[in-house]
Structure 1
Amino acid sequence: MPGRITGHLRLITPTATRAGTNLVTRGGGEIVARRLFGAEAAPVDRVGLGFARDSADADATKLTPPDTDIAADALSAPLPQEALSFVTDLDGIVRVSVAAEFTPIADLEDVTEAGLFAGDTLYNQVVFEPVTLRTGQRVTFFWDIDIPFGD
């Protein structure tokens, strides 16, 4: 089952669910390649939010900022290693599952984009229907990233 690394996102809040398909950036591909061969590369360690209405292209390096003044730290959260799990016994793929929790420190209107970061490098981008996130609300981002192997 040859193919590309693919990913899908589900965002779940107490009042809404959103879904979207992953776009791996050029920087994300470089992270995978560098780590695979032991070269210096930061691990994916943060989830970020943005406001894009369309999918980025592979050369994207950041998520789309809001039109209003929102502090950068209100748009990201750390991704602890405990948020990751790996399944290796699927047919033709290894699946990395990510369960990233995010608790907004400010009200965020019309969030439409999420991504995973390794340090300052954007690994991926997902665009979804607008959702409003409220201060203190518990939000969970679930990514399933499939890495193919075999023929």
Structure 2
Amino acid sequence: MTRRPPDRTKAIDAAEVQRLASLGLSNVIIAEIMGISISTLQRRIKRDPAIADAIHHGLVAVKMRIRAELVKQAMQGNTRILLRLAEDLGVLSSQGITVKGDRANPVPVSVTDDKQAITQVTELITQLENAARAKPDPIIT
């Protein structure tokens, strides 16, 4: 009679993986904290949907917190962050500001310097905030 080798699969707590990922820790550091090798963690991410989801949801959570902080700083007057967020949202590009009006048709906007761009982006954000207060987005609410 042959004996099976003992099961060496170490249980990995998906909730703990998600908590660590939500702190912005890399997979290498998560593995180290959990007392497993990086190859074991990578293998479990591939094989176990719960572990893969935990990593994904943790990363999404940290990205959301960072984005919220950037928006907060932009609204408090940090113009560099405001411009960066405007670029990310597609409102501002290296070619200038793109504003979309009715039926997503572009509205021409002329910008000749950074101060003018900042002013126009700030005004656009204010208009968007006012419009959102007047008519809440059904997807968000």
Greater helix fraction, Structure 1 or Structure 2? 2
Q: Which has the larger radius of gyration?
A: 2
Q: Which has the higher contact order (CA 8 A, sep 6+)?
A: 1
TM tier, smaller: under 0.3
TM-score, scaled relative to structure 2: 0.21
